Amino acid sequence: MLKVSFIRAVTRKINQAATKWPTTKLQNTKTLTQSLSLVRYQHTKHTHHAHKRSEHVKEALSILEKYLQTSVKKGEHLPDRPTTPDQAWKALMDGNSRFASGNMWGYLQHIAIEISPKHRQEIYGGQHPFASILTCSDSRVSPELIFDQGLGDLFVVRNAGNVVDSIVLGSLEYGAIHLKTPLIVVMAHQKCGAVTAACNTKEEDMTGPLGSVLRTIAPSAREAKSGHDQDPDAYIELAAKLNAQNMMSQILQNEKIAAAAKEGRVQVVCVRYNLATGLVENL
């Protein structure tokens, strides 16, 4: 069993790294994350001196929050909020890489800053997300986690099958035009229940509220079925891909979004989330 002196040493390590934060910015994040993880691990693994361990965990969190906050200007994030489609895309892909690898240092930032009372007060007066995401309601597909982002970063629209209707279009238009998100992402995913249902249900049986969702996906299911009758899994995955691409096309039919895209202020992209790897792939 490691002694309390070890916990103190780790806390000092956090303090030393954190004091360099304002000048080195993100370079010390991994050190901070690893150090805090060690403190938490020792705190939960051993019961001896639990009270003192708890004090040092609190001390480490306090130190981390203090120095992170000194490097964040009011209303801004670390790194700075992306303002172009390319910057927004890079921020999302960098975050997804962290998520897929398990190195979610951004999540630690958000714990320390972005869900703090101070940050909630900062974003109380208005939101400034850098990307709009249309994706499925599937409980395994959470954009803030998949892209390793926090409060105020993403403008998210979710429904079964990531389908587009007038309400979804209005929401995405609001994000692009009024909130000025430079990027709109339509994100499909593997093993989508709504797409599977659309592929396996006769159109005459698509009734009621759920039927309206399935009927929206049905054209993509019909298109995917050709040549894939002998491979149900490939059929469904292709249908999910085509559905996302068709939804992207519908978004670009919105006059205001189309005009912003033509001027280069907004880009609309289509991706698929891989449930197994955690990676987001271009479609």
Distance, in Å, from the CA atom of 270 to the CA atom of 283, rounded to the nearest integer, reads: 6
The predicted-structure confidence for 155-169, as pLDDT tens digits, reads as follows: 999 999 999 999 999
Q: State the pLDDT confidence band at 107, using cuts at 50, 70 and 90.
A: low
Do residues 69 and 118 make contact, with C-beta atoms less than 8 angstroms apart? yes
Any residues with CB less than 8 A from the CB of 108 and at least 6 apart, and which? 29, 32, 33, 36, 64
Question: Range with the lowest mean pLDDT among 24-33, 38-47, 130-139?
Answer: 24-33
Any residues with CB less than 8 A from the CB of 91 and at least 6 apart, and which? 79, 82, 130, 131, 147, 149
**Residue 199, pLDDT score:** 94
Distance, in Å, from the CA atom of 147 to the CA atom of 132, rounded to the nearest integer, reads: 12
- Integer CA distances (angstroms), 57 to 10, 26, 36, 109, in order: 10, 22, 8, 16
Q: How far is CA 189 from the centre of its chain?
A: 14
Q: What is the mean pLDDT of the chain?
A: 80
Q: State the pLDDT confidence band at 21, using cuts at 50, 70 and 90.
A: very low
**Residue 63, pLDDT score:** 57
More confident residue, 45 or 267: 267
DSSP 203: G
Q: Which two tokens stand for residue 180?
A: 């000025």
Do residues 183 and 131 make contact, with C-beta atoms less than 8 angstroms apart? yes
Summarize the confidence of residues 200-217 as an average pLDDT: 96
211-242 CB burial, b ≥16 within 10 A, e <16: bebbebbbebbeebeeebeeeeeebbbbbbbb
User: Kind and range of the H or E element at 106?
Assistant: helix 105-109
Q: Which two tokens stand for residue 268?
A: 């609309």
pTM, 2 dp: 0.73
